[in-house]
Amino acid sequence: MDFKRRQGPGPGVPPKRARGGLWDEDEPSQFEENLALLEEIEAENRLQEAEEELQLPPQGPAGGQFSTADIDPRWKRPALCALDPNTEPLIFQQLEIDHYVGSAVPLPGGPPTSCNSVPILRAFGVTDEGFSVCCHIHGFAPYFYTPAPPGFGAEHLSDLQRELSTAISRDQRGGKELSGPAVLAIELCSRESMFGYHGHGPSPFLRITLALPRLVAPARRLLEQGIRVPGLGTPSFAPYEANVDFEIRFMVDADIVGCNWLELPAGKYVWRTEKKATQCQLEVDVLWSDVISHPPEGQWQRIAPLRVLSFDIECAGRKGIFPEPERDPVIQICSLGLRWGEPEPFLRLALTLRPCAPILGAKVQSYEREEDLLQAWPNFILAMDPDVITGYNIQNFDLPYLISRAQTLKVDRFPFLGRVTGLRSNIRDSSFQSRQVGRRDSKVVSMVGRVQMDMLQVLLREHKLRSYTLNAVSFHFLGEQKEDVQHSIITDLQNGNEQTRRRLAVYCLRDAFLPLRLLERLMVLVNNVEMARVTGVPLGYLLSRGQQVKVVSQLLRQAMRQGLLMPVVKTEGGEDYTGATVIEPLKGYYDVPIATLDFSSLYPSIMMAHNLCYTTLLRPGAAQKLGLKPDEFIKTPTGDEFVKSSVRKGLLPQILENLLSARKRAKAELAQETDPLRRQVLDGRQLALKVSANSVYGFTGAEVGKLPCLEISQSVTGFGRQMIEKTKQLVESKYTLENGYNANAKVVYGDTDSVMCRFGVSSVAEAMSLGREAANWVSSHFPSPIRLEFEKVYFPYLLISKKRYAGLLFSSQPDTHDRMDCKGLEAVRRDNCPLVANLVTSSLRRILVDRDPDGAVAHAKDVISDLLCNRIDISQLVITKELTRAAADYAGKQAHVELAERMRKRDPGSAPSLGDRVPYVIIGAAKGVAAYMKSEDPLFVLEHSLPIDTQYYLGQQLAKPLLRIFEPILGEGRAESVLLRGDHTRCKTVLTSKVGGLLAFTKRRNCCIGCRSVINHQGAVCEFCQPRESELYQKEVSHLNALEERFSRLWTQCQRCQGSLHEDVICTSRDCPIFYMRKKVRKDLEDQERLLQRFGPPGPEAW
């Protein structure tokens, strides 16, 4: 669905073509042949299964039909075998946990079932055999704590319960679900606040249990305002753990973590065979106290055979208008299904509007009415019953469009896409904001029981890329490209014949296949499953919530074991603190090995070594009041005080120790494991453990968070600064000539958790040896578990400034470098045009790999000359920036924002919208015109031959990056004169624009092709050049042939990319440099053919 990525207008038909046409019947493409191969492999291994009649429960008025004959038996889950709840346990891996309010059911050993409004938890999952499960978990009620006021005793419990329950009922007068008392119980217990070291142990707390989760917020508010307690007045109560989600509360108490395996013992659960509430094969009820949770270790680390569905849709848009669900039809829905653990999709389905020619390796189902097409897809979803649904931009486009379109056509049975019978899938707006990504608005489609993994949202959150189109990310991660089709061409293909609709279906299938490949290649599912297990939160939380809920879950689990409670802290964003230390770099080009020493897990190890935690924090003056001895607490570099582990071991250090030791075990198992699937799980687990450990520090420093603590976060960075400075002093004091070493060591740079050392040796092997020795020696000066490790050697090394350096990286073999490593340079940044990254990379390669700085200077001068002479392809000059908000919300004028507004006026259908990355180039204009007024769409520039402002690219894009690289080599003053001035900058070529400016008032006149003099006739040459006309004609024909050959090569390359050498190229991928080259050559071909026409037809003498 490429108009979702807002590509530009189509490339058009080439001026000359050898064979094939847009509407010709075509041979199978490479992608189709791959699909056919999958079908053959399946056919060889297929077990003969009897086709069973599909039972679809009624969910509304009848719509289109997806009949039994259309369902391949292999698409459905395995037939459910007999299960005896009295003798057989039920074991399944849960994927999603939520709750609803319903009626209690009779259960073995359960409470009375008279109440009609009780909270019921619902766990969806899959068994080892592939059966889908919905487990209704009963008997768990929401609760929170508050400190008992002075003088409060057991005799006050009933009075407080009555007063609070009455106050809540009065506050919730409109609530229909509340049929009994709001407060179920209030109990006295002994607990301790985790915030601060108090020295007096547990104190009296009240545990308040409520009837429904939604009553926690009003109960908390009313208690904070004050509740009358006979004999005690109207005290105010401070809430503890009143901001914990109901699902997290249950999972913590039941010791359940995300995506782990649950066991329901025989005789403890009831199997619903009638009055089922979901579409799951197994639907059971159980008491929460009877659920057995298996920790994800050993055999319980496995992942069930989950069903993953990837899909894509195509819509027929109108020319110049982005598709609207109220008017534009859905014409195709393509789906691919994968059973996790199998190498290839087992299901390939194309649903099309109007007849479509067969596709090798895929089932094609065509419909004459759009209503039937729309009804067929949810029926297919019910038949396949996926656990995970993926795709590209399905969250903001495909799913909302399908639901809105079905609503427009009154296909009432469509929006039941989840697993709960009769529960509609609704669309709601969502917004996410953080310092890293700014604000992102999106849509959320509810689909209870199924996990949505939109690959676009995953990539936006986890990877920084220049472009996020499906084509760009597929090339980046998979090394594959696909054709991008502009939406007006999609309509033409739909209105063609069966063959054109077949081509569109193959294109749509590929758009559904690539997200599935990305999901596997990036291990998105495995990594998220392991992160859910490590942090203890449901899988869906990882995809829709921020970072804090993961730390809160771990904190609550550790606190519960020690009788500690988490307070509710009101935060408004406060003071900041000094960050990590950066040792001033000694800039230069080092043609000697530079050893890099790195602190392993620096911030977690500081917190463990110094026992930094909420529970160990001493308030100002508390050490004296509590009578602590000087050796029982520490004062951090920032002046904050914490008790030592001998007095009390902190919660956070315990959590970090568990995480890091678990990671060590996972890495050891990974080194021994040979099974590829198990290796994936272990690798995902060790990565999740690493990320979780590092996020604990960030949780304490979040200005607006669940439990911010500036004293911890600033103390951590304070110790970090101290350690970096101490490491520098230790290295430079030990490795000296006086101590028998070859040279005086020098720390040339240090940043956050690493230092770069020059030991004065000439070989990489010597630098590695000294680096390991220094790491061990420095580590001995720090408390455990702080450890400095040798990480790598750079040779040679180019140190430009703080956080900007490059070098050849050696990590294991002293004779062979691993790669060229760049940090903070334009070679790895995405806010410049590709020319900058390419030139910086090629220059660094000549400096570092070839050891040829003079050759790098010559190469940079050649590229600058090509730029000024207009010999650089426009694809190298395209700058892309994200449109994050409306034009009025920007403080100043921005080039990409102004261009988006101009494009919207020219063609609303292809104009960028919020969240899109806008490609643009800077064109020539009158002197003094601001740069934001000179931004233009690259295609518009090509079509109208607008001149590029090469001076802008030289001065604003290339100059600073090049000077940063070459100043350490050439010197600050000389670098600018050598690179930016000289003979290579004196020759310039400027294109003549065909639109705008004074051209509207000028008249074009013909010039002689030979001498360029003005002529008054329509011929090609003047009378003086007439004798040379044949020679000039041959010259221009040769130029035409060269252009045709170049265009043919580009055209063939695009055909190979799209998978067929017999179809027209309709790709409009702006992320591909070939696209711009093809457009440019096509424009040059048209101009050259017009020029040749001026010679007229060949005369009789030519024959």
Binding residues: 1008, 1011, 1022, 1025, 1054, 1057, 1067, 1072
What phi and psi, each to the nearest 5 degrees, are found at residue 849? -85, -50
Judge whether 795 and 767 are in contact, CB under 8 Å.
yes
User: Rounded to whole angstroms, how far apart are CA atoms 828 and 462?
Assistant: 16
Q: How many CA atoms lie within 13 A of 896 on its CB side?
A: 21
What element of type H or E holds 309? strand 307-315
Distance of CA 143 to CAs 140, 148, 172, 538, 558, Å? 10, 15, 18, 20, 18
Alpha helices in 12-52 (DSSP H): 30-45
Q: Which residues does the annotation place in the binding site for [4Fe-4S] cluster?
A: 1054, 1057, 1067, 1072
723-727: Cβ within 8 A, 24+ apart: 723/599, 723/602, 723/606, 723/782, 723/786, 724/580, 724/581, 724/583, 724/750, 724/752, 724/753, 724/755, 725/581, 725/583, 726/781, 727/597, 727/755, 727/778, 727/788
Q: Which helix (H) or strand (E) holds 654?
A: helix 651-672
- DSSP letter, residue 53: P
CB 663 within 8 A of CB 672: no
Provide the 3-class DSSP secondary structure of residue 188.
Answer: strand
DSSP type of residue 101:
E
Q: For residue 917, what are the β-bridge partners? A: 882
What's the CA gap between 453 and 995, in Å, rounded?
Answer: 47
Residue type at 1092 in one-letter notation: L
Gap between the Cα atoms of 321 and 487, Å rounded: 9
Distance CA 583, CA 728 (A): 9
Residues facing 122 on adjacent strands: 98, 136
Binding residues for Zn(2+): 1008, 1011, 1022, 1025
What is the pairing mode between strands 90-102 and 203-210? Answer: unpaired
Q: Are strands 879-882 and 917-922 parallel, antiparallel or unpaired?
A: antiparallel
CB 480 within 8 A of CB 511: no
DSSP 417-449: -SSBTTPPP-EEEEEEEETTTEEEEEEEE--TT
B/e letters for 837-875, b = 16+ CB within 10 Å, e = fewer, are bebbbebbbbbbeeeebeebbebbbebbbbbbeeebebb
Which pair of structure tokens corresponds to residue 362? 């895929």
